[in-house]
Structure 1
Amino acid sequence: MLSGTGWGTLAGGAVLTTTGYALGYGEAAALGVTCLLAVAFAVLWALPAPVLGAERRIVPSRVSRGDPAEGVVVLTNTGSRARRGLRAVDRCGGQDITVEVPALNPGATHELRYPLPTARRGRVPVGPLRLERTDPLGLVRRMRPYGEPDTVLVRPRTCPLPVLPSGQAHHVEGPASDTADDGSLTFHALREYVLGDDLRRVHWRSTARTGTLMVRQMIDVSLPHTTLVLDTRRPAYASGDDFELAVDCAASIACAAARSHFPVHLVGATGPILRTDGTGDDGDALLDALAVVRGEELASVTAAFEGLERGRGDGALVVVTGDARGLGVVDRVRRGFGRVTVVLVGDADTDGPGTASDVRQLRVTSLDELAAGWRREAVR
């Protein structure tokens, strides 16, 4: 297809040629013919379709906000002629990233690397990759898509934190269903039998129905659990940066519990976001969930605390917000937890209703302040 320059050259050539011949201006006619010939030459130059193999991957596919991620494209000339005038164009997050491709001889392979934008948290679409062939004058561009669209998941930033004690003794080994006391175990799910499983936990009805030996998977309910309420209301924060810092704080707190294999109940302003049981890659699941959290136009955070009054009186409740005026609701649920901590992000408003004296408040304006304050809370 003709580029903007190509269309201008074609129109100009037509006007000059017509005017030159009509009015007897030979120079104008000659210039017009030259323009038309240039466009014709450009079309012939870009006409042959390049016979190329292209493979694109994203390294890494998950990255913390602000950390580097790259698109890696491997091009192979599978034709019998050298290819010149190529460039790779990849669309990422609404913007085009263009990389010039050097001349490729038959059978040659070349690897292209280009940075991807990771400044904004979320699922960033990448692609599809396009290869463009242009003539030396930039009058004609031929485009061909390669591969399928992909995504890079930009997660919140985190800092290492200890787990806050909840005030009661708990199983310190994590959710090991084979070693925990039977009195602290409860049914979680059914799974296929693996060598070494306790045969007393075989679920015979499911085994008969599926034809596969199935066992009960148990979890230790005595584990220290963390209920994390992230205030996702946009009006609760002075700026978008404060909201991003709140998500970073929530991610750091959640990952601290997940690294110790403790259950986490993540709640947003409108209700539950994710509940983990302390097994598997809970940290990755929590970061993936927080990567796509968006601000909401809500007036109250009350919905986030619905159902939390039925706590068992242990575990930790952590509230991350930028507005202290909505914290009166914390007093209604704090009896269901052994420890309650409120993290106030940014220039938080502290003129609202106060909370009970056993509710700790921690004001932070950066992840470094969160790390320092959290360690002080951990030794109280």
Structure 2
Amino acid sequence: MAFLSTVRAAVVRFRVTATDALARGRAAWGVHAPALRRVPVTPSGWLVLAASLAAWYAGARLGWLELVLVAATGLIALLLCTGLVVGRMALSVTAAPERDRVVVGRSTRCHVVVTNRARRRMLPIEVELPIGGRAPATFDVPALAAGGTFAADVELLTDRRAVIPVGPATTVRGDPLGLLRRSVSWSEVCEVFVHPVTTPLEPLGAGLLRDLDGYTTNDMSMSDLAFHTLRDYAPGDDRRHIHWRSSAKLGAARPAGTFLVRQFLDTRRAHLTVLVDGDGGAYGDVDDFETAVSVGASVVLRAVEDEIDTTLLVADQLVHKGGARRSLDACSRAGQTTASLADLATRGVLVAPDATIALFVTGSAPSFAALTRVAARFQPEVRTFAVRVDPTAPTASVAGSAALTVLTLRSLTDLPALLSGGTLR
């Protein structure tokens, strides 16, 4: 057995060395070829090779001609099978999805095209196309004449939110005995994004002023665009803000040297931060987490349409002012994590310190006190809202305090009614 192990190790080392040398030579000459698996011998092939070498060794030591014939038969079979899998194929294999972005529940297809670019007829081959974690789709490509083309479609299932890797398309050549199996990859891996289901919403009511002012706050400012009132001049005030006409009118009734200056209200551009809790313990089941992702995606889509600067943190994914497509792609990639909603809020504050509205979506497990502690992570002037996904709630409701507004919904269909009438104003 030690002898057989030594022989097998030597064969593997030779195969690896030859493949690496060939790859280095192609790279040096700028030649790119499809990826080839290093050892095309199947487990049955290794068994036949090991049995043949053992029979040859035993026959030579014991002088049994029958064992030598058995060994010769096995080695000749391997040699003949090798002739069926060696050689280069001049093919063009493409695998492209019909649409690379779909919504959960909508189907799409992947087109597979095989073209024989050789000058002679091609033998039948098998093409495999891995799709996600499922078993690869298999196509039996018939013999193609020179320039012939074979096309086939495979349907992609989009029953769950996910990112589905498609490819690479691989040709498989083998022998009737199943001793050798040569696989060559011809295409790159492409991704199909399955976006979450969303619902249309009314304008959120924040950041709808598309002028330079943004929207006003109750914070006083000495240099802004929203005029508020006039007040007496104080040391340190900018003299450019002195209202000379009003000061002159009141000059007779006031002591000399008394001036009035303009007082402004601080204005800022609306910035919405949406947090989707990725902690699995916050939800009753996986479907509640999917609903939470759909809620966050729906709010972000409406905010982008309203031209509101948006930062989205959905579980382990982050998109800062990235637009609708990047936000939906992040929702497709998001998965449940062990990080808490408080940790997510801390990260959101660091990424978007200029946020004016914070909305975090979670499940039914966090209490109102816990949500209040999460809201405390933001600055006092930031308006905070929480959306709780609770299918067992008797009805959709809005409750809370001055520091935090809590919206409870049973399903995604409750969201438009909860946000109607400018709830986020």
* 1:265 and 2:311 matched: yes
Deviation per CA, 1:243-264: give whole Å up to 9, x if none. 3332222112212333444443
Q: Tell me the equivalent position of 2:334.
A: 293
2:171 counterpart (103, 127, 131): 131
Tell me whether 1:10 sits opposite 2:49 in the alignment.
yes
Cα distance, 1:287–1:305 mapped onto 2, change above 3 Å: closer
TM-score norm. by structure 2 comes to 0.60
- How far off is 1:287 after superposition? 0.8
Classify the secondary structure of the residue corresponding to 1:324. Answer: coil
Query: Is 1:321–2:362 an aligned residue pair?
Result: yes
CA offsets per residue over residues 210-247 of structure 1, 9 Å max, x none? xxxxxxxxxxx988764322223344334444333322
Distance 1:227 1:74, change over 3 A: same
- List gaps (5 residues or longer) in structure 1: 186-220
State the match for 2:199 in structure 1: 160
Give percent identity, aligned residues only.
Answer: 21
C-alpha change, 1:155 and 1:337, in structure 2 (3 Å) is farther
**Is residue 110 from structure 1 mapped to residue 147 from structure 2 by the alignment?**
no
Summarize the Cα distance change of 1:254–1:296 in structure 2 as closer, same or farther, 3 Å threshold.
same
- C-alpha spacing 1:19/1:3, structure 2 compared with 1 (3 Å): same
Amino acid at match of 2:76: L
Contact map agreement 1:43 1:140 (CA 8 A) in 2? yes
Partner amino acid, structure 1, of 2:386: V
For each residue in 1:324-351, what CA deviation from the matched residue of structure 2 results, as whole angstroms up to 9, or x when unmatched?
Answer: 222113665697467x6432125799xx
**Structure 2 residue ranges without an equivalent (≥5):** 1-39, 216-266, 394-398
Deviation at 1:134, TM superposition (A): 1.3
- Local SS of the residue matching 2:41: coil
SS at match of 2:136: strand
After superposition, the CA RMSD in angstroms is 4.2
- 2:111 and 2:82 map into 1 onto residues whose CA distance is 30
Indicate if the aligned counterparts of 1:85 and 1:134 stay in contact, CA closer than 8 A.
no
Given the alignment of the two structures, is residue 141 of structure 1 paired with residue 181 of structure 2, yes or no? Answer: yes
Give deviations 1:300-345, integer Å, cap 9, x for gaps.
5152574889766xxx64320123222113665697467x643212
CA distance in 1, matches of 2:353, 2:75: 79
Q: Compute the displacement of 1:288 (Å).
A: 2.1
Aligned residue for 2:229?
A: none
Contact 1:161 1:375 in 2 (8 A): no
The one-letter amino acid of 2:191's match is: V
Q: Please tell me whether Structure 1 or Structure 2 has the larger radius of gyration of its CA atoms.
A: 2
Please give the secondary structure, in 2, of the residue aligned with 1:159: coil
Look up the match of 2:346.
303
Q: Deviations over 1:21-77 (max 9, x none)?
A: 967686x77666544433222111222322212223233223335644444332111
Query: Residue 227 of structure 1 aligns to a residue in which SS?
Result: strand
Q: Supply the distance in 2 between the matched residues of 1:360 and 1:56 (Cα, whole angstroms).
A: 47
SS in 2 for 1:9: helix
Alpha-carbon distance, 1:2 to partner: 2.0
Aligned match for 2:295, one of 236, 249, 253: 249
Please give the secondary structure, in 2, of the residue aligned with 1:273: strand
State the one-letter code of the partner of 2:83: L
**Which residues in structure 2 correspond to 1:167-178 (within 5 Å)?**
170-171=208-209, 175=210
Distance 1:41 1:228 in 2: 64
Change (3 A) 1:13 1:304: closer
